[in-house]
């Protein structure tokens, strides 16, 4: 249990480190990449949070987050490459 608490705290630190890249990334692609990584770390964090709270049904929310992360990244990349979303 203690390992899971330390692990979720370390994932929070990793999110803050990746957020530095979001703030000062020179190009927009750095920001997209860092936001994508933050989404992946948040999926892991939700799964760990479900086990810490002893209520693993939170995994469903993590599946939803994975799908939203993928779709969001591709929407932003399509906007960059073609200039429109339709």
Q: Is 85 in the site for other proteins (CB under 8 A)?
A: no
Quick check: 10 binds other proteins (CB under 8 A)? yes
Residue 84 CA neighbour count, 13 Å, CB half: 1
Q: Does residue 60 bind other proteins (CB under 8 A)?
A: yes
Tell me the C-alpha distance between 49 and 52, whole Å.
5
Tell the residue number behind the tokens 């073609």, with chain if given: 82
* Token representation of residue 4: 């899971």
Q: Give me the residues that bind other proteins (CB under 8 A), please.
A: 3-4, 6-7, 10-11, 13-15, 17-18, 20-21, 27, 29-30, 32-34, 36-37, 40-41, 43-44, 47-48, 51, 56, 59-60, 62-63, 66-67, 69-70, 73-74, 77, 80-81
């Amino acid at each position: 249990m203690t390992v899971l608490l330390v692990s979720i705290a370390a994932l929070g630190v990793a999110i803050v480190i990746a957020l530095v890249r979001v703030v000062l990334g020179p190009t927009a692609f750095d920001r997209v990449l860092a936001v994508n990584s933050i989404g992946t770390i948040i999926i892991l964090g939700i799964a760990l949070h479900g086990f810490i709270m002893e209520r693993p049904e939170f995994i469903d929310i993590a599946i939803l987050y994975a799908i939203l992360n993928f779709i969001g990244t591709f929407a932003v990349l399509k906007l960059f490459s073609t200039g429109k979303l339709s």
